[in-house]
Amino acid sequence: MLINCIAYKNGKKIADIPVGEIHTYLDQPDCFVWVEMKDATASELAEMKAEFGLHELAVEDALMGHQRPKVEEYGDSVFAVIHLVESDGADLHVGEVAIFVGHNYILSARNRSSHSFIGVRDRCEREPHLLKQGSGFVLYALMDSVVDRYFPVIDLLETELEEIEETIFSKGKARSNIQRLYALKRKVVVLKHAAFPLMEGAGKLYGGRVPAMCLNTQEYFRDVCDHLARINSSIDSLRDTIAIAMQVNLSIVTIDENDVTKKLAAWGGIFAAATSMAGIWGMNFKNMPELEWAYGYPFALVTIILVCVALYMRFKLAGWL
């Protein structure tokens, strides 16, 4: 659906306009049109294609969705896809915004996301000296808004990792910790898939040959790339820490299993000694002097007990029990 369609001239808002009148404002000097849509239908995008002369391949990508973050040039226009990553506490949800940019227009089509760009429009309208630079500055403002919302997501992931690390040495937490670490790893990968390709795409908008509408805003896109570089660095650090935590957790599981094995081996040794002596005296051979001795039975019991106690103390000192 259409959220708003506004014309600007020299950095100031002229009016909210109907879609059918967009072409009349595109012909005016120092004027550009900013359109925002949410979950646009095929017919709505077809109407925008007719008004702005959008490239059919870009329109097809926006309509199909589920695109990799990217920045592409189509003649004198730019098409960008940015992932909108939102957290509900338990999981990450990925939306998408397709942005069409020309020298006198910008169209954003948001899909599968509650992420609003109202604050971006308010910010731009409060800075008419920057907004007068046209659609290139609006593209920066939209991209910067999305990238800035990646930072709270990273903070949530880091907090979740710290909570897992606090319980990683607790008894009986191994299985649940592994499950939580794998779930956290999946979230980190989702964020990585959103941030890393976008950094590559944003790099096309400053330095060297850049699209005409971005010539006056190159330093702003460089700032976005710097933020994305920090985000990717934090993501890589998170991934490394998660990998280490998994190794530590698996090591703890192995140590616990070894402890159980040692205890079983120690008790098995104690009972094996008792069983062997009982088996010897239980063979009932005729010429066994202990069988005829009056104190043979208590002697056998005391011997078995002393041997078992000696073995128990030895295993105890060795840390097996």
Domain regions of the chain by residue span: 1-132, 255-317
Q: Structure pTM?
A: 0.79
3-state helix, strand, coil in the chain (%, to 5): 65, 15, 20
Mean pLDDT of 83-99: 88
Fold of 1-132: Beta Polymerase; domain 2 (3.30.460)
> CATH number of the domain at 255-317, please?
1.20.58
Q: What is the pLDDT of residue 269?
A: 85
pLDDT tens track for 65-79: 888 999 999 988 999
The whole-angstrom separation of Cα 100 and Cα 81 is: 9
**Which has the higher per-residue pLDDT, 285 or 259?**
259
Residue 37: count of CB within 10 angstroms of its CB:
22
Q: How confident is the model at residue 82 (pLDDT cuts 50, 70, 90)?
A: very high
Domains 1-132 and 255-317 alike in fold: no
The C-alpha atoms of residue 103 and residue 31 are separated, in whole angstroms, by 9
Query: What pLDDT does residue 290 have?
Result: 67
CA 127 to chain centre: 33
Return the higher-pLDDT residue of 7 and 249. 7
